[in-house]
Structure 1
Amino acid sequence: MTPRLEILMYHSISDTPGPTSISPQIFAAQMQALADSGLPVVSPDAMAAPPRARSVVITFDDGFADFDTVAWPILRTHGFCPIVYLPSGRMGGPEDWAGCNIPPRPLMSWDRVRHLAAEGVFFGGHSITHPDLTTLPADTLEHEVALSGQDIAARLGQPIRHFAPPYGASSPDVRRCIARHYTTSVGTRLGVARPGEDLHDLPRLEMFYFTDISRWQAHLAGRGGPYLAIRRTLRRARQMARTHFGVG
């Protein structure tokens, strides 16, 4: 089996509209298909080493309260252990950053985070206030990156080794800053991680693209390459349009 690590990206498991929400029913079907595939779902610490076989890591950004109430019970049923990236200065309140849902979705409390950590859920840094890190001066960038993990570590009594920049926004300076404090970092670059990847710019699979369960099953069966290629092409076209023409 080709060495590759497939890092799945989720945000909210809810019926709220938008690409950062996936319905509980679809999420349950995605996890059942993953379980049926027989692919190993591994610890996020596996991101730090080149994969020796095809395997999967499950990640969640932002720490929404529905991870605790909806996603975790489904994951626990299958024995899947995910990582949740937390904006440490926003926990216990609503999402309140640029591009957030209206009405805003609630984030987990620290009490629930501690409870989940005791059950085996991994946690990572996701900044303090969820800014676009590429827009920050060097001292503010250092503060947002370093203190996020330090705060989570102090609250949980365990090291925080992994990070995800908000919005997937990164740059060489941002990655160098992250690398000073974390073993790995994931972004929103669409793809699968292979040996030799930059450990601080790991690609992920945005699971909103796999809400069609038959398409997800085809990907798990090894027939997803053409679809991923199309999605990457469409993404690049949208990014070019935004860059050159200001099109959203």
Structure 2
Amino acid sequence: MRLRGLSRLRKLWRRLRRSIVPQRGAIILCYHRIADLPQSPRRLWVSPQRFAEQLEVLTRNFVPLSLAELAERLQEGKVPDKAVVITFDDGYADNFWSALPLLERFGVPATVFVTTGLVGTEREFYWDELERLILGETVKGRNGETEKGRSGNLIGQELRLEIRGRVRQWKLTNDEERLKAYHEIHDLLTPLLPEQREAVLQQLRLWFGVSENGRPNYRLMTVEELVAISRDGLVDIGAHTVNHPDLTAIPPEQQRWEIETSKRQLEEWLGRPVRWFAYPYGSGNFVTRQLVKEAGFEVACSMSLGFVTNRSDPFWLPRIFVENWEGDELVRRLGQV
């Protein structure tokens, strides 16, 4: 009796210890752009030099795995400690220009999650277009004259926008007001339906007197570049919806369309199954996860902070957002997770 009681106590202690000291496991890192963009307010970039530093320390301190390898280990219940998986969200063209050569140099696999609606277009993501218009070096006022942006003779007018039936306004007379306007408008656009978001952007284009065409170095990859970046197998492609909505803010049927259409488009372009998905903004709920599963994906990545362990939900894998840190700083931060 005492032995059985002792056995129960040991099992209870192991269960309690796991709840207090979580299992260390694999880390999934989330990148967006590999480019020098020091003025970018959303910190979605890592310079090529810093990315090389990060890859060097990651290969020295961790075992790089592809997302496919991690999914297989998770299914087997054998997720290794000290493993790292590299992912990129959105599908910017600099993933092809700048990230791929460095990944090849260090032999590190990666997965790029692509927002299909902007592939092959000259359009920018709404947060980049907002930056170009509101924080750009030069902007064009309603009178058609080009006026200074970040410094100098700033536009003295108030920007007025109708968003969901309400007129809002912002002053743009100095850098601080412009940055405040940028963040507030960004936060208002994020939960909107794609067509609502586009209506606000069109108001902005008219106010600033510009077209919808974006900067060449802010575009997404073309179909040809998607094929090329994934041809040798070092880089895999996953889906990231069509229009990059907050899926929890739109009806289930529209969620389904965004999820399934992005998968179908990528499979048509690449000629092979697309098995991985990443939630825009890392945002999803139970309904979203079910829709991703029903669409035929095997794994989905969130932005919840943490390690991937044997007990992780394959449709809600945690990731860690990476900024333009030095290599040693990245390792230090990973040690604090």
> Which TM class, normalised by the smaller chain length?
0.7 to 0.9
Pair 1:45 & 2:159 matched: no
Pair 1:163 & 2:186 matched: no
- For the residue of structure 1 that corresponds to 2:304, the secondary structure is strand
Task: Give the fraction of aligned pairs with identical amino acids, expressed as a percent.
Answer: 29
In the alignment, residue 112 of structure 1 is paired with which amino acid?
A: E
* CA distance in 2: counterparts of 1:34 and 1:175, whole angstroms: 30
Is 1:97–1:131's contact at 8 Å kept on the other side of the alignment? no
In the alignment, residue 138 of structure 1 is paired with which amino acid?
A: P
Is 1:88–1:151's contact at 8 Å kept on the other side of the alignment? yes
- For the residue of structure 1 that corresponds to 2:128, the secondary structure is coil
Equivalent residue for 1:211, pick from 325, 328, 335: 325
Superposition deviation, residue 21 in structure 1: 0.9
* CA distance in 2: counterparts of 1:44 and 1:85, whole angstroms: 11
* CA distance in 2: counterparts of 1:47 and 1:63, whole angstroms: 21
Partner in structure 2 of residue 54 of structure 1 = 82
Under a length normalisation based on structure 1, what TM-score does the superposition of the two structures give? 0.83
Is 2:31–2:87's contact at 8 Å kept on the other side of the alignment? yes
Equivalent residue for 2:314, pick from 199, 211, 216: 199
Higher Rg: 2
Partner in structure 1 of residue 304 of structure 2 = 189
Q: Give deviations 1:144-198, integer Å, cap 9, x for gaps.
A: 0011111111111111110001111111111111111211111111222111111
Is 1:47–1:184's contact at 8 Å kept on the other side of the alignment? no
Partner in structure 1 of residue 173 of structure 2 = none
Structure 2: unaligned runs, 5 residues or longer = 1-22, 133-213
Pair 1:67 & 2:91 matched: no
Equivalent residue for 1:20, pick from 44, 48, 63: 44
Superposition deviation, residue 7 in structure 1: 0.3
Under a length normalisation based on structure 2, what TM-score does the superposition of the two structures give? 0.62
Q: Give deviations 1:178-219, integer Å, cap 9, x for gaps.
A: 1112111111112221111111111111111x7143222335
Partner in structure 2 of residue 245 of structure 1 = none
Equivalent residue for 1:78, pick from 85, 106, 110: 106
- For the residue of structure 1 that corresponds to 2:109, the secondary structure is coil
Partner in structure 2 of residue 134 of structure 1 = 248
Q: 1:95 to 1:30 in 2, by over 3 A?
A: farther
Is 1:8–1:204's contact at 8 Å kept on the other side of the alignment? yes
Is 1:59–1:83's contact at 8 Å kept on the other side of the alignment? yes
* CA distance in 2: counterparts of 1:165 and 1:130, whole angstroms: 9
Is 2:53–2:326's contact at 8 Å kept on the other side of the alignment? no
Is 1:47–1:199's contact at 8 Å kept on the other side of the alignment? no
Superposition deviation, residue 36 in structure 1: 2.2
Equivalent residue for 2:222, pick from 109, 123, 131: 109
- For the residue of structure 1 that corresponds to 2:273, the secondary structure is coil
Q: 1:117 to 1:55 in 2, by over 3 A?
A: same
* CA distance in 2: counterparts of 1:154 and 1:24, whole angstroms: 31
Pair 1:152 & 2:180 matched: no
Partner in structure 1 of residue 191 of structure 2 = none
Equivalent residue for 1:119, pick from 203, 225, 232: 232
Q: 1:135 to 1:71 in 2, by over 3 A?
A: same
* CA distance in 2: counterparts of 1:60 and 1:82, whole angstroms: 8
Equivalent residue for 1:29, pick from 53, 56, 69: 53
Superposition deviation, residue 95 in structure 1: 5.6
Matches within 5 A, 1:236-247: none
Superposition deviation, residue 66 in structure 1: 0.5
In the alignment, residue 95 of structure 2 is paired with which amino acid?
A: F
